[in-house]
Amino acid sequence: MNVNDTRKAIKALPHMTVTRNDGEWRVTVLFQSVAARNPAKSDRWCREKQEKLAYYTNDADDALGTARDMSKRWEAAK
């Protein structure tokens, strides 16, 4: 799977977003999903929460596997 395929697969998962810089993948929950689950919290709090949830790796397969797990857990915690 190439970089674009991995990125598309992660972004297709519910509530997930991904970035890739200098070979490092960052997988986390969408800001909108964090904000929707915590409506009384500020944007700053939601961004900090999003970063706390972020996972960093250099391996595309690891990024995709982690994104699948994070998405499944986020959905289950509704």
- Spans of all domains in the chain: 7-76
The predicted structure's pLDDT at residue 59 = 96
The predicted structure's pLDDT at residue 78 = 77
Residue 6: partners with Cβ closer than 8 Å, 6 or more residues away? 18, 25, 60, 63, 64
**Which helix (H) or strand (E) is 20 found in, with range?**
strand 16-21
In terms of Cβ atoms closer than 10 Å to its own Cβ (0-12, 13-18, 19+), residue 25 is: buried
pLDDT means per 10 residues in the chain (78 residues)?
A: 94 98 97 97 98 98 98 94
Asked whether the whole model's pTM tops 0.85, one would answer: yes
